[in-house]
Amino acid sequence: MTSPTTPATLEAHGWGWRYATRLRWAVREVDLRIEPGERVLLLGASGSGKSTLLQGFGGVLGGADEGETHGALRVDGRAPTEARGRVGMVLQDPDTQTILARVGDDVAFGCENLGVPREEIWPRVRQALDAVELDVALDRSTAALSGGQKQRLALAGVLAMRPGAILLDEPTANLDPQGVADVRDAVSAALDATGATLVVIEHRIDIWLPLVTRVIVLGADPAGTVVLADGTPEQVLGARGAELAASGVWVPGHPPVVPPAPAQRPGETLIEARGLTVARRRGLAIAGPFDLDVRAGEVVGVTGPNGAGKSTLGLTLAGLIPAESGSVTALPALASDEKADPFRWSSRALLTRIATVLQTPEHQLLATTVRDELSVGPRALRLSAEEIATRTDELLARLRLASVADANPYTLSGGEKRRLTVAAALATRPRMLVLDEPTFGQDATTWAELVGLIARLRDEGTAVVAISHDEAVLDALHARRVVVGR
């Protein structure tokens, strides 16, 4: 009883949208037509409005109290809000797209909303899960899935609605390499099965290029949002490759600039780990035993598959969680007059010795302005007001945060928040820095900036432990590898 999906036509006629909280129009006077069955890669610098355009097509932008609009968007000739079910969207964050607790229920959710009769729902659910190659039981808990699995689950939920258009807004940005590949394959299989129209926004485009037939580049100029380029991937990337790379897209053939190799040999050893096994919860060792040294002027790269325990190892070396067995010893060069086990140190003692930047910036925002955020550490050290001001100003300049110095940290963009958390860690001049996935989800420009910053810190003599599933980061930093898990 499967009705074939007719691919949808997407059109924009002089359309614009301005959020109620912004002065600038996010999108203005954009004219576009996407034919049924086309596969489009939508690119553009941040601020060009591509995400807003996609959300407009998805009909999720909100009503009159959330923004103003002009012009029209059409899905098969109808307004997007009336064409519910014709368009399916997969968004960036895996965690906020799992709606129900069990896999089967979550996939069935879209069908329920469209009023599909019960007899038809469960066959569609099974078909959709097969289409995305998600081979889990229907009663499996959605919270137990990995990021890549959750995104595929979201895609399955979309496919079960039999949409004519599939819109993907950075679906792989928050995933590890395995997850990225899985999602890409799932989308490819889904398109082969349904022939739906595809519009995808991503900054890591190499995996999507083989899949798409058309690339559209959006840009903003005084007149409004303009289509800067529109054509086949070869045409657009050939003509605008360098420009796109400069705006943060990972264009094949235009890799970001990597810092030079370290000029000096590593210095003294700061932390020694011997026979170290690590655990997220007491008694449940997940990785180890490790024997490693963390030395000044060197980057230790912790890598391995998702869930293997990379972060746990990093947090243990940083003195934030206790070792399960074995030892983490801070040598006198680092510990000075403190005890040997960093986990026993007070929070203040950690400040000048080991700083940690966690994976999610939102977990680390403590103050109400960016400037205050940077001064949290120095104030805990009881530094003088002048010293605090000097350090803060220096960091604001160094990490290009001066323009948002008085803004609330939560209102910063993703890249800015990341720079902020790194800056805050550096405010107390630690001798060792532990970074958990520093370039996660970032575009090429921020990637290059952070990698460059870490390299400079290394060259200044800081010991760095970088946890990353992105091999390119560790290569760029000439890191000494520690592999966790098989």
Partner 1 sequence: MIDPLTARPDRPGPIAGRAALAKLAAALLIALPLVLSIDVVSASVALLLEIPLLLLAGLGAREFWTRTAVLWIAAPLGAVTIALYGATSGTIHLEWFVIRISDGSLALAAATAVRVLAIGLPAVVLFVTVDPTDLADGLAQRVRLPARFVVGALAGMRMLGLLTEDWRALALARRARGVADQGRVRRALGMAFALFVLAIRRGSSLATAMEARGFGGTGPRSWARESTWDRRDTLLVIVAAIIPAIAIAVAVLTGAWNFILGPTA
Partner 2 sequence: MSTSTSGSTTGSASAAAASASKGLGRPELWRWRVVDIVVASVIAVACAVIFLLWNVGYEIPSTVLTPLLPGVQGLLAGPWLIAGVLGGLIIRKPGAALYTELVAAIISALVGNAWGPLTIVSGLVQGLGAELIFLLFVYGVWRLPVAMLAGAGAGLACGINDRILWYAGADTLFTTVYIVSTTVSGAVIAGLGAWLIARGLAATGALSRFAAGREVTARV
- Under rule CB under 8 A, how many of the chain's residues touch partner 2? 14
Nearest to 94 by CA among 182, 209, 198, 199: 182
Would you count residue 403 as binding partner 2 (CB under 8 A)?
A: no
54 vs 477 by CB, closer to partner 1: 54
By CB under 8 A, which span of 98-106, 214-222, 392-400, 456-464 interacts with partner 1? 98-106
CA distance 420 to 409: 8
Would you count residue 62 as binding partner 2 (CB under 8 A)?
A: yes
Shortest Cβ 20–partner 2 spacing (Å) = 6
By CB under 8 A, which span of 67-75, 242-250, 352-360, 474-482 interacts with partner 1? 352-360
Residue in 63, 77, 117, 210 binding partner 2, rule: CB under 8 A: 63
Q: What does 19 interact with, of partner 2, partner 1, none (CB < 5 to 8 A by kind)?
A: partner 2
- Under rule CB under 8 A, how many of the chain's residues touch partner 1? 68
Q: Where in 18-37 is the site for partner 2 (CB under 8 A)? A: 19-23
Would you count residue 460 as binding partner 2 (CB under 8 A)?
A: no
Identify the sign of the CA torsion 87, 91, 97, 103: positive
Would you count residue 68 as binding partner 2 (CB under 8 A)?
A: no
Q: What does 284 interact with, of partner 1, partner 2, none (CB < 5 to 8 A by kind)?
A: none
Shortest Cβ 315–partner 1 spacing (Å) = 7
Would you count residue 413 as binding partner 2 (CB under 8 A)?
A: no
Q: What does 350 interact with, of partner 1, partner 2, none (CB < 5 to 8 A by kind)?
A: partner 1
Would you count residue 69 as binding partner 2 (CB under 8 A)?
A: no
19 vs 122 by CB, closer to partner 2: 19
Residue in 27, 53, 91, 128 binding partner 1, rule: CB under 8 A: 91
Would you count residue 95 as binding partner 2 (CB under 8 A)?
A: no
175 vs 424 by CB, closer to partner 1: 424
Residue in 13, 14, 33, 66 binding partner 2, rule: CB under 8 A: 66
CA distance 39 to 10: 12
Tokens representing 119 are: 């007899």
By CB under 8 A, which span of 205-213, 274-282, 372-380, 409-417 interacts with partner 2? 409-417
**In the 3-class helix/strand/coil scheme, how is the chain assigned residue by residue?**
CCCCCCCCCEEEEEEEEEECCCCCCCEEEEEEEECCCCEEEEEECCCCCHHHHHHHHHCCCCCCCCEEEEEEEEECCECHHHCECCEEEECCCCHHHCCCCEHHHHHHHHHHHCCCCHHHHHHHHHHHHHHCCCCCCCCCEHHHCCHHHHHHHHHHHHHCCCCCEEEEECCCCCCCHHHHHHHHHHHHHHHHHHCCEEEEECCECCCCCCCCCEEEEEEEECCEEEEEEEECHHHHHHHHHHHHHHCCCECCCCCCCCCCCCCCCCCCEEEEEEEEEEECCCCCEEEEEEEEEEECCCEEEEECCCCCCHHHHHHHHCCCCCCCEEEEEECHHHHCCCCCCHHHCCHHHHHCCEEEECCCHHHHCCCCCHHHHHHHHHHHCCCCHHHHHHHHHHHHHHCCCHHHCCCCHHHCCHHHHHHHHHHHHHCCCCCEEEEECCCCCCCHHHHHHHHHHHHHHHHCCCEEEEECCCHHHHHHCCCEEEECCC
> Is-cis flag, bond preceding 222, omega within 30?
no
Residue in 32, 42, 108, 205 binding partner 1, rule: CB under 8 A: 108
CA distance 370 to 422: 12
Q: Where in 411-450 is the site for partner 1 (CB under 8 A)? A: 424-425, 428
Q: Where in 360-389 is the site for partner 1 (CB under 8 A)? A: 360, 362-366, 376-377, 380-381
Query: In Å, what is the CA distance from 274 to each residue of 23, 156, 286?
Result: 56, 46, 16
CA distance 341 to 331: 9
Would you count residue 26 as binding partner 1 (CB under 8 A)?
A: no
Q: What does 366 interact with, of partner 1, partner 2, none (CB < 5 to 8 A by kind)?
A: partner 1
3 vs 21 by CB, closer to partner 2: 21
Residue in 230, 408, 461, 480 binding partner 2, rule: CB under 8 A: 408
Residue in 82, 410, 475, 481 binding partner 2, rule: CB under 8 A: 410
Shortest Cβ 106–partner 1 spacing (Å) = 9
Would you count residue 327 as binding partner 1 (CB under 8 A)?
A: no
**Residue bearing tokens 């060197």:** 298
213 vs 403 by CB, closer to partner 2: 403
CA distance 92 to 110: 18
Would you count residue 282 as binding partner 1 (CB under 8 A)?
A: no
Residues of the shown chain interacting with partner 2 in the complex, contacts defined by CB under 8 A:
19-23, 62-63, 65-66, 368, 408-411
Residues contributing to the site for partner 1 (CB under 8 A): 55, 58-60, 84-85, 88-89, 91, 93, 95-102, 104-105, 108-118, 121-122, 125, 137-139, 143, 154, 157-158, 161, 315, 318, 320-321, 346-348, 350-351, 355-356, 358, 360, 362-366, 376-377, 380-381, 410, 424-425, 428
